[in-house]
Amino acid sequence: MEFKHEPVLLKECIEALNIKPDGIYVDGTLGGAGHSFEIVKKLSPKGLLIGIDRDTEALKAAKEKLKNYTNVKYVHDNHDNIKQILEELQINGVDGILLDLGVSSYQLDEKNRGFSYMADAELDMRMNKEQELTAKHVINSYSEEDLANIIWEYGEEKFSRQIAKNICNVRKQKTIETTGELVEIIKKSIPLSKQKDGHPAKRTFQAIRIEVNNEIKPLYNTILDCINCLNKNGRLAVLTFHSLEDRAVKKAYKEAEGNCTCPSDLPYCVCGAKSQGKIINKKPIEATKEETERNTRSKSAKLRIFEKR
* All domains in the chain, ordered by first residue: 10-101+216-308 (3.40.50.150), 130-212 (1.10.150.170)
User: Looking at residues 185-203, what average pLDDT do you find?
Assistant: 93
User: Looking at residues 216-226, what average pLDDT do you find?
Assistant: 97
SS3 99: strand
Per-residue pLDDT reduced to its tens digit, 92-113: 999 999 999 977 666 666 778 9
pLDDT value at position 96?
98
Per-residue pLDDT reduced to its tens digit, 243-280: 999 999 999 999 999 876 777 787 777 777 788 999 99
The rounded mean pLDDT for the chain is: 93
> What strand order describes the sheet that includes 24-27?
72-76, 48-53, 24-27, 94-100, 230-240, 302-308, 277-279
pLDDT value at position 167?
98
Classify residue 125 as left (phi > 0), alpha (psi -120 to 50) or beta: left
12 membership: H or E segment, kind and range? helix 10-17
Q: At residue 76, what are phi and psi to the nearest 5 degrees?
A: -90, 95
Q: What is the pTM of this model?
A: 0.90
Q: Is the predicted pLDDT of residue 1 greater than 50, yes or no?
A: no
| Burial track 235-248 (b if 16+ CB lie within 10 A, e otherwise) | bbbbbbbbebbbeb
pLDDT value at position 33?
95
